[in-house]
Amino acid sequence: MRSPIIRLLRKALSKFSLFEFVIPMTSVILGLGIVSESSIMIDTFSMIQMVLLITFLELGSQLFLFHQREYSDSARKGDIPGEKNAFLLLVILFYGMSILPFSQILQNPKASPTFLITLALSSFLIIIWRNIGESAFTQIMKIFIISFNNSFLLPLSQLVFYRLEVNTLFITISQVLFLFLLGFLIMREVINVEIKREKSGIVQIIGTIPLLKISEALLILGSTLFVIFGIRNPKVEIHLFSFFSIGLVLLTLIQTFQIDRVGKAGLITIYRTMTILLIFQFLGWLTLFWLF
C-alpha cells in the first residue's frame, strides 16, 4: 500500500510550478554574480544558506496554495479523513525548516539591519503573493510582485549583504529582467486562458489581444534598454547577448502580426519564444558572471 505522505506529495507535485520554484534561487545567484563581478569574495556557506532559505519558503508557499485549493471543501470532495491536516503539517514543516538557514544568516557579521529588512520583505512576498485573491486586480498585483521581487529585491539583498553599492550593471539587469518577467507573466495568463482553458480575471477584463500587445511592448522596451547598455559596454559577449535577445523579440512580433492567420498556434509559438528569451537572459548573465 502506498504511503500516505508519498501519495500526498505526488498529488501536490502534479500542480507544482518548477518555473516559480527556480526563478527566485536563480535571482539570488544572479545577485551574487554581480557581487563577484565587483571582485568581492563570495561566502560559500552564506550562499548555501540563502538558497536553502528560498527553497524552503518557496516549497512551503506552493504547498500551502495547493492546500488552500484542494481542501477548501473537503467534505464535498470526499477526501480521506485526516489528509487535510496531514498536508497542513507538511506545509508547516517546510516553513519551519526555513528558520534553520535564516538563523545561520543572522549569525553572520555581514548581516546588517538593511540586509535583514530587505531579506524579510523579499521572504514575505514569496509567502504572501499566492494567497492574495483571484480577482483581476490581485492577479495584476501578483504579476508585479513576482517580477519586482525576482528582478530587484532578491538580487539587491545580496548586494546589501556584501555592502556593495548599487551600480549601473545592477540597475540595467534589474530593469531588463523586470520588463521581461512582466511581459512573460502577462503572456502566461493569456496562454492559461486560450490554451489551457483556465480562468483569468485580467484576461476577461482586458482581453487577449490587448494583453498580447502589452506583453510585446514590455519586451521591446526591455530589449531596447539592454541594447543601449550593450552598445555602451566594451565586452563583445554583451554585444552578442543583447542583439540575440532583440532577435528573439522580433520573432514574437512576426507571429503577432500574423496572429489572425496563425491563431492559437501563433500564441503557443510566441509563448515558447518568450520562455526561451527569459531563460536565455538568466542563463546568459549567470554564464557571463561565473564563467568569464
Q: How is the chain split into domains, by residue range?
A: 1-163, 167-292
For residues 244, 250, 252, 253, the Cα torsion angle rounded to the nearest 10 degrees is: 170
Is the distance from CB of 25 to CB of 280 less than 8 angstroms? Answer: no
Give the end-to-end CA distance of the chain in Å, rounded to a whole number: 52
pLDDT at position 58: 92
Q: Which of 179, 241, 250 is closest to 215 using CA atoms?
A: 179
Distance CA 76, CA 88 (A): 19
For residues 291 and 65, give the distance between their C-alpha atoms in angstroms, rounded to a whole number.
Answer: 37
b vs e for 128-165, b when ≥16 Cβ sit within 10 Å of the residue's Cβ? Answer: ebbeeeeeeebbbebbebbbbbbbbbbbbbbbbbbebe
pLDDT in tens, 279-291: 988 988 888 888 7
pTM, to two decimals: 0.89
Indicate the pLDDT class of residue 85, thresholds 50, 70 and 90: confident
Q: Is the predicted pLDDT of residue 66 greater than 70, yes or no?
A: yes
**Domain 167-292: which topology?**
Four Helix Bundle (Hemerythrin (Met), subunit A) (1.20.120)
Condensed to tens digits (0 to 9), the pLDDT of residues 135-190 reads 888 889 999 999 999 999 999 999 999 998 888 889 999 999 999 999 999 999 99
Residue owning grid cell 530587505: 118
Residue whose C-alpha cell is 548581516: 111
